[in-house]
A = this chain, B = another copy of it.
Amino acid sequence: MNMEATDDEKSTTLSSSRAGRAVTLLPTYLTDARAVQKYCRSTAPEGALQLSVAENQMLEDLLVPALTKFSSSRDSFPADAIYYQPTHGREPLRNALTNYLEGLLDLDKDANGTLDPEGIVVGAGCNAVLENLCVSLAEPGQGVMIPLPYYAAFEFDLGSRAGLEVVPVPTMEHSSYDSNSSSSSSPPPEAYYLSRAALDAAKQTSIEENGIEPRILLISHPQNPLGICYPPHVIEETIEWCRDNKIHLISDEIYAGSVYQKDTADFSSTLKVASSSPSPDETGLGLGPYVHLVYALSKDFALSGLRVGVMYSENQEIRLPLQKLNDLCSVSSHTQNLVEDMMKEVSPPSSVHWTQGFLEENQRRIRERKDAWQSCLKELEIPHLDATAGLFCWMDFSEFLPEEGTPSERERALYLELLQEHGLLFTPGDSMKNELPGFFRCVFTAASDHEFELGMERLRKYVKEKRA
């Protein structure tokens, strides 16, 4: 009996190469962060403030009583929830989500049509439904185009099991912004917009230089980490390019309910832009086979612990495969019932859905934090995008970059300085493949009021010292 393998055999007998590869796809900047003591008011007042994970910690006062109510709103555990469920989700939940999404995404019955509940798949998180959607659309080794900068975990979600390659889509050189000009200021929002030119170039580079055939374009809309929305004309151009090129467009609208600056955001769901008034007696939005949506409760409702993701597509070819593949990542019937009750709850006396009231209050709170954070940035003259959606602000710290090293080395030095010497943990742009070094994402909702105030104080101190 030989239970110990030699070093040589290790990679072949104890684990698969994909197990090892999966781990390498995880964002590495968090390894540095884990080595640093975290802030605690009583025990570690000098510890680092975690402002890099996209969570919203300002909602417990609303969520705890509401979830307590929804999780005990049925007199007894429903007997039918004991057994196997439809693999793509219980019908009453899918119907409730249909209704919720139509409101959230501002779909008009006459102009856009209605969602088809059979096109909805409810799975264990946005990453789970996204993975299955991509598995159903692309072969291993094919590419998923993603505009820069992008949510770092997409590389793990799409690469680890589905075997897909992320194809970066740089946008700056195709915009009017010139980062090489000596007089150039920080990039404006337009520098990050998608365009036919940017998409054509990225596709060509992928095929010709890397031998990877792109099959999917994945956009995050509202954009994470930028905190802005692509304007409707950009979405329209993107949809047309995808249909022309027979490339699948997946719109990740996980922050659709966190558009808090409605006066300037100009958010239009990709589903709304892509819909073509179908005949009134049909269900569906007339999206055709190339436009798909993913959503989840993790951001707008801060319920990342519930692992509830939603996928919507009108592509008939992938419908059955997606429903069946979802058997490998289904949500418990118990939690499906909770979410159904949450989606259906109507608050008296105004007969408004609980979800709507919750999102409005959440948007108010995010806006308040955003205003305070951006006021601080303005006071310190740190360039940043004017955030309108999401939980974060995109900041240009390039003036603080050290002179020496490659762009990545320079940014890493700045990241470590902020983290280790000033207790500020932001998401570094390099981990999101940003085109220019020195940019950081601040998640201003991932903190208590006290921690948030302390974060601004530390930032002021940092800037003062650096400029002294």
Q: What residues of chain A have their CB less than 8 Å away from a CB belonging to chain B?
A: 1-5, 9-10, 13-20, 22-23, 26, 53, 55, 57, 59-60, 63-65, 67-68, 71-72, 75-77, 79-85, 124-125, 127-128, 131, 135-140, 156-157, 160-163, 215, 240, 243-244, 246, 288-290, 302-308, 315, 317-318, 320-322, 324-325, 327-335, 338
Q: Assess the A131–B55 pair: CB atoms within 8 A.
A: no
Copies in the complex: 2
Q: Assess the A55–B84 pair: CB atoms within 8 A.
A: yes
Q: Assess the B64–A325 pair: CB atoms within 8 A.
A: no
Q: Which residues of the partner chain B approach A333 to less than 8 Å between Cβ atoms?
A: 305-307
With A9-B246, A334-B71 known as contacts, the answer to whether A329 contacts B139 (CB < 8 A) is no
CB nearest neighbor in B for A247: B13
Chosen A-B contacts, 23 in total, with CB atoms closer than 8 Å, are A3-B290, A5-B289, A10-B317, A16-B137, A16-B215, A18-B139, A55-B84, A68-B75, A82-B304, A124-B331, A125-B328, A125-B330, A131-B328, A135-B161, A140-B140, A161-B161, A161-B328, A306-B333, A306-B334, A307-B333, A308-B332, A331-B332, A334-B338
Task: Pick the residue among B1, B67, B79, B81 that contacts A240 (CB under 8 A).
Answer: B1
CB nearest neighbor in B for A138: B16
Measured CB to CB, the closest approach of chain B to A203, in angstroms, equals 14
With A82-B63, A318-B15 known as contacts, the answer to whether A26 contacts B324 (CB < 8 A) is yes
Measured CB to CB, the closest approach of chain B to A26, in angstroms, equals 6
Q: Assess the B305–A83 pair: CB atoms within 8 A.
A: yes
The complex places the Cα of A435 from the Cα of B83 at a distance, in Å, of 31
With A128-B328, A328-B329, A338-B334 known as contacts, the answer to whether A321 contacts B77 (CB < 8 A) is no
Q: A3-B243, A131-B328, A331-B332 are in contact. List 11 more A-B contacts (CB 8 A).
A: A4-B288, A5-B289, A26-B324, A64-B82, A71-B71, A82-B302, A124-B331, A140-B163, A161-B162, A307-B331, A334-B338
Measured CB to CB, the closest approach of chain B to A179, in angstroms, equals 33
Measured CB to CB, the closest approach of chain B to A369, in angstroms, equals 18
Most-contacted residue by chain B among A3, A131, A307 (CB, 10 A) = A307
With A307-B331, A328-B161, A333-B306 known as contacts, the answer to whether A19 contacts B135 (CB < 8 A) is yes
The complex places the Cα of A335 from the Cα of B338 at a distance, in Å, of 10
Q: Assess the B305–A85 pair: CB atoms within 8 A.
A: yes
Measured CB to CB, the closest approach of chain B to A269, in angstroms, equals 19
The complex places the Cα of A131 from the Cα of B318 at a distance, in Å, of 21
Q: Which residues of the partner chain B approach A324 to less than 8 Å between Cβ atoms?
A: 22-23, 26, 156, 160
The complex places the Cα of A466 from the Cα of B80 at a distance, in Å, of 38
Measured CB to CB, the closest approach of chain B to A210, in angstroms, equals 20
The complex places the Cα of A353 from the Cα of B125 at a distance, in Å, of 33
Q: Which residues of the partner chain B approach A10 to less than 8 Å between Cβ atoms?
A: 317
The complex places the Cα of A40 from the Cα of B140 at a distance, in Å, of 46
CB nearest neighbor in B for A322: B19
With A14-B289, A139-B17, A162-B161 known as contacts, the answer to whether A76 contacts B65 (CB < 8 A) is yes
The complex places the Cα of A332 from the Cα of B334 at a distance, in Å, of 9
Task: Pick the residue among B163, B305, B315 that contacts A81 (CB under 8 A).
Answer: B305
Q: Which residues of the partner chain B approach A72 to less than 8 Å between Cβ atoms?
A: 71-72
With A19-B135, A289-B5, A328-B329 known as contacts, the answer to whether A60 contacts B76 (CB < 8 A) is no
Q: Which residues of the partner chain B approach A303 to less than 8 Å between Cβ atoms?
A: 82
Q: Assess the A15–B315 pair: CB atoms within 8 A.
A: yes
**3 shortest interchain CB distances as A-B pairs:** A305-B333, A67-B77, A3-B288
The complex places the Cα of A80 from the Cα of B302 at a distance, in Å, of 11
With A60-B79, A67-B77, A334-B306 known as contacts, the answer to whether A320 contacts B14 (CB < 8 A) is no
CB nearest neighbor in B for A134: B16
Q: Assess the B325–A307 pair: CB atoms within 8 A.
A: no
With A10-B317, A13-B246, A305-B82 known as contacts, the answer to whether A68 contacts B77 (CB < 8 A) is yes
Q: Which residues of the partner chain B approach A4 to less than 8 Å between Cβ atoms?
A: 288
Q: Assess the A82–B68 pair: CB atoms within 8 A.
A: no
Measured CB to CB, the closest approach of chain B to A247, in angstroms, equals 9
Q: Assess the B83–A321 pair: CB atoms within 8 A.
A: no
The complex places the Cα of A28 from the Cα of B128 at a distance, in Å, of 26
CB nearest neighbor in B for A446: B83
The complex places the Cα of A270 from the Cα of B157 at a distance, in Å, of 33
Q: Assess the B289–A3 pair: CB atoms within 8 A.
A: yes
The complex places the Cα of A307 from the Cα of B138 at a distance, in Å, of 27
Task: Pick the residue among B63, B75, B161, B332 that contacts A335 (CB under 8 A).
Answer: B332
Q: Which residues of the partner chain B approach A1 to less than 8 Å between Cβ atoms?
A: 240, 243-244
